[in-house]
Structure 1
Amino acid sequence: MRELAGRAAFVTGGASGIGFALGRRLAEAGMKVMLADIEVDALKAAVENLRNIGPEVRGVACDVTDPVSVEMAAKASFDAFGNIHVVCNNAGVGGGSGIDDISLENWRWVLDVNLMGVLHGIRTFLPHIRAHGEGGHIVNTASMAGLNSGMGFSAYSASKFAVVNMSEGLATRIKPFGIGVTVLCPGFVRTRITESGRNRPARYGPSQKPDPASSAGTLAAQIAEMIKSGLDPDDVAAQVLTAIRENELYVFTHHDADWRGELEARFAAILAAMDKAAVRQAERLS
């Protein structure tokens, strides 16, 4: 979608971090923007912050874990702007429980936001975009953690692996309808994701943090430090805007030797296992 001016976008997790940066970049490109977020006060502040950039920026409260809430937010967007062309399924939370204390509540919450939230966005907006026939683009926020297992046994990584796969599969199916897909796989970005528990609904139980002395607690502390020195969300949003215009499937914000090395090691192990399976099959047949 090269022509964005005058069209409309919907962004979840739009009150802060990458979502807010996406909203600002899309507004600067001349789009009408609906920011959606579960954090109402922050959402109001975000909309007010962007008023001087794009007068057609609005906000709607939305809990992406609830399909009805997403549908209501979509209706508010249609009522405000008419056709929606760009959908950014960006809302996400950090969390998990490692192997010492596997919390079903943590896993359900993370998967409901990071995975089902993306699905709810696709399910709600895709029929609309197909029906208006003006083309469109869907951006799904995953993570570099969705491509390697450096975080260990993690609900976050599991959810992001799924989002990468969903996006790849979706791209092939909706390309004939003039709808593009981008999966955003950022590394460490300066957001408040380590404070995700502030928005955790009561139905998932109280926010749980790992024991600082445990391996999960040590990893969480390391991640928090790397996030503090991470990439500016606006830099991420700029790359996503380019991907929308160029119809690029993947956005990798970090591509230095360490990140690339982790991917190469994983892919090499997979290919080596396939080669080993082929050798064993040949031995059985001989």
Structure 2
Amino acid sequence: MELTYLRTFCEVAKHGSFTRAAEYLGYAQSSITTQIQRLEESYGAVLVERFGRSMRLTIAGEALLPYAKEVLRLHEESKEVVSRQSKGTLSIGTIETLAAYYLPPHLQTYRQQYPDISIMLQPGNEPIIIEQVKEGALDVGIILDPPFSDPELHTHVLREEELVIIANPEHRFKGLNAIQAEDLAGEPLILTEDGCTYRAMLLKVLRGSEIDFKPSYEFGNLEAIKQCVVYGLGVALLPRIAVADEIRKRQLIAVPFAHPECKFYTQLIYSKKKWQSKAFLGFVDLIGAGNHQNL
């Protein structure tokens, strides 16, 4: 049964006239008659009868009226709830660096705008995040990569992230404006976990340049990496945003790593098949993806 029939029925009951109901709804009177007839066929009962020059509800019609009004009310309420998307979960996959140093202020603002949306933050490395977004296990992914594209995904570049070599303030790199691959020869390297895209880039560059490098430590935790560097156990490649506080406190120095392949961007990805609710679009707009060009 179409909601239109119930709405027409309520207007006939309100106006006591097919003609006035037709005028109010913008239908031809014949259309009102047809809709009421179909509604009566559906219920197997006469709902409206002629009384003098007006129409009035039968006993069956009187019984139906409160239900019809409630159905229409619930329909309007459901449209409002769905359009606002005021409840639900937004799942975000991202790497530790962005989860800790990029997303928090955006999540705070988003929570203020959508207080009833639960946010599930799923950490991982880029290949896993990309696959889970494509499979629909995650609503969005925020990755740190060279310019990325995939035929199944929308990609928005949010901003470029500077990668720096960090070292103890007394290290020989102090005072350099940039670090070349050859500067890392013989340096003990403290690496991020396997699967990290900027780790892979660094190792590729060093091997391609035939640099004799020394991987000394490997950690899946940024704080552990930074503390080891503070204590002079080696140098590491990290995004500047991850070490901004330590640089400000002069616990570390940070020198840009100069290489053509060292171009990394924070990027938002989501499936081209993704249903874009208001809450979803609110998140995309909030972090500024709407102002950037798709890749």
> What TM-score bracket applies, with the shorter chain setting the length?
under 0.3
> TM-score under structure 1 normalisation?
0.28
Structure 1 or 2: more helix by fraction? 1
Q: Which has the larger radius of gyration?
A: 2
Q: Which protein has the bigger strand share?
A: 2
TM-score normalised according to structure 2 size: 0.27
